[in-house]
């Protein structure tokens, strides 16, 4: 494959001016914050595990906060520290004014005293107990009538009241997920931790369970930390996203801020960007709100808006790159074309587009990329 020297002529200047503070936004850890948001979770955690170190600080207000990041980023370790299953080496964890852990003050409440609900990926239901008995497991301190009242209410909230006398092996996967949520919530926790509990479910079942959980939380208003690897779940669930990588929070913000305009290459890859490149800024055009960059190497994000087999003219798009098709690969009803423009770009096409344009390896083409489709990330 021949290599051409190439530039992406223009990208948005404002993309290059994104403040790094978004990735490490200061967390209000004062008592004033706690008094304003009495149910908010405040956490500063340092935990060393062999060669891995979790070092994070964040606040989670009532509603869904998504923990997003690659495997091994520290998401489950973070949840375990919040739940009291792991003891941080330093830091402080509080829900409103109630301190769960404070290394400096030697406070470390055991898991049973933290009022933190935790649903694991494997659910950990007791197979020998009925649904009712599983849900009532954490209510031994209550009277029988109180246990029955609490259990009936939470089973009704998750629409599984008819399953009370059955065992986990006799119900569906989605029903088991509902039982696990009901068991975590029947104790009226102040924080709920969810470690990919819906990962094995189909989209429709997952959506219904999430709707029920949202409805439940409208009346309780607690922080819910939800671990996922799914970009779709981030947009469907999250009001705020914390992205972890190698034990650090590398980005945080709304789903749109984090995944549509990522600042880190790791996040861009998780978000599904096909084309990520190293680039050098050659010139800045403040009057036009753009900058000119030279692409130096491919790393995998720039989506390609259009592919043409003749030099396009009369376009508003500012980036028209000549190239040559290196490979064409069919993926079900989509064709993935890799185009050598000095760096290699991936373009997704329909089968009809491939056939009507008579695209074959070696064919000369032009890629059209809108300025607003280009985004700069930190090195």
Which whole-number Å values give the CA distances from 151 to 11, 131, 183, in the listed order? 57, 10, 9
pLDDT in tens, 47-56: 999 889 999 9
pLDDT surpassing 50 at residue 365: yes
CB contact at 8 A, 45 and 54 = yes
What is the CATH architecture assignment of 20-270? 3-Layer(aba) Sandwich (3.40)
- Among 207, 150, 208, 198, CA closest to 177: 198
| More confident site: 234 or 318 | 234
Say how many C-beta atoms besides its own lie within 10 A of residue 285's C-beta. 11
Q: What is the pLDDT of residue 28?
A: 44
Give the span between the Cα atoms of 80 and 87, in whole angstroms. 8
Going by their DSSP bridges, the two strands 223-228 and 191-195 should be labelled as: parallel
For residues 86-99, average pLDDT: 95
pLDDT in tens, 230-263: 777 787 776 899 989 899 998 888 888 777 666 6
pLDDT surpassing 80 at residue 280: no
| More confident site: 296 or 121 | 121
- Sign of torsion, CA 233 235 240 246? positive
pLDDT in tens, 171-218: 998 999 999 999 999 999 999 999 988 887 888 888 888 889 988 999
Q: What is the pLDDT of residue 274?
A: 57
The ranges assigned to domains in the chain are 7-16+272-373, 20-270
Give the span between the Cα atoms of 368 and 36, in whole angstroms. 49
| More confident site: 137 or 283 | 137
For residues 332-354, average pLDDT: 87
Identify which of 25-29, 91-95, 122-126 has the greatest average pLDDT.
91-95
Q: What is the pLDDT of residue 270?
A: 67
CB < 8 Å & 24+ apart, contacts of 325-332: 325/359, 325/360, 325/361, 325/362, 325/363, 325/365, 326/1, 326/361, 327/361, 328/354, 328/359, 328/360, 328/361
Say how many C-beta atoms besides its own lie within 10 A of residue 45's C-beta. 24
Q: What is the pLDDT of residue 83?
A: 97
Work out the pLDDT band at 121, boundaries 50, 70, 90: confident
What is the CATH architecture assignment of 7-16+272-373? Beta Barrel (2.40)
Work out the pLDDT band at 313, boundaries 50, 70, 90: confident
Its pTM stands at 0.70
């Amino acid at each position: 494959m021949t290599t051409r020297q190439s530039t992406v002529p223009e990208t948005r200047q404002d993309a290059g001016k994104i403040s790094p503070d978004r990735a490490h936004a200061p967390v209000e850890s004062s008592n004033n914050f706690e008094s304003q948001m009495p149910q908010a979770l405040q956490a500063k955690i340092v935990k060393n595990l062999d060669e891995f170190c979790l070092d994070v600080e964040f606040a989670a207000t009532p509603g869904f906060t998504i923990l997003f990041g690659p495997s091994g980023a520290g998401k489950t370790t973070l949840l375990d520290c919040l739940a009291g299953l792991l003891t941080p080496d330093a830091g402080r964890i509080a829900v409103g004014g109630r301190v769960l852990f404070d290394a400096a003050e030697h406070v470390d409440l055991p898991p049973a005293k933290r009022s933190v609900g935790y649903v694991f990926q494997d659910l950990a239901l007791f197979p020998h107990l009925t649904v009712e008995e599983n849900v009532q497991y954490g209510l031994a301190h209550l009277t029988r009538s109180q246990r029955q009242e609490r259990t009936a209410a939470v089973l009704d909230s998750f629409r599984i009241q008819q399953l009370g006398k059955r065992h986990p092996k006799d119900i569906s996967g989605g029903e088991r997920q509902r039982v696990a949520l009901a068991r975590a919530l029947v104790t009226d926790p102040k924080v709920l931790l969810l470690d990919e509990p819906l990962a094995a479910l189909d989209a429709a079942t997952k959506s219904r369970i999430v709707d029920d959980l949202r409805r439940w939380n409208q009346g309780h208003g607690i922080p819910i930390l939800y671990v996922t690897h799914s970009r779709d779940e981030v947009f469907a669930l999250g009001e705020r996203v914390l992205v972890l990588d190698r034990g650090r929070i590398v980005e945080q913000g709304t789903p749109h801020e984090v995944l549509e305009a990522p600042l880190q290459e790791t996040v861009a890859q998780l978000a599904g960007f096909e084309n990520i490149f190293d680039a050098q800024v050659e010139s800045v055009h403040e009057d036009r709100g753009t900058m000119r960059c030279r692409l130096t190497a491919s790393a995998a994000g720039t989506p390609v808006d259009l592919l043409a087999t003749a030099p396009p003219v009369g376009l508003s798009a500012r980036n028209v790159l000549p190239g040559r098709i290196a490979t064409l690969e069919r993926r079900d009803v989509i064709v993935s074309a890799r185009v050598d423009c000095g760096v290699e770009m991936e373009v997704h096409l329909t089968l009809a587009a491939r056939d009507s344009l008579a695209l074959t390896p070696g064919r000369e083409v032009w890629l059209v990329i809108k300025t607003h489709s280009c985004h700069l990330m930190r090195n």
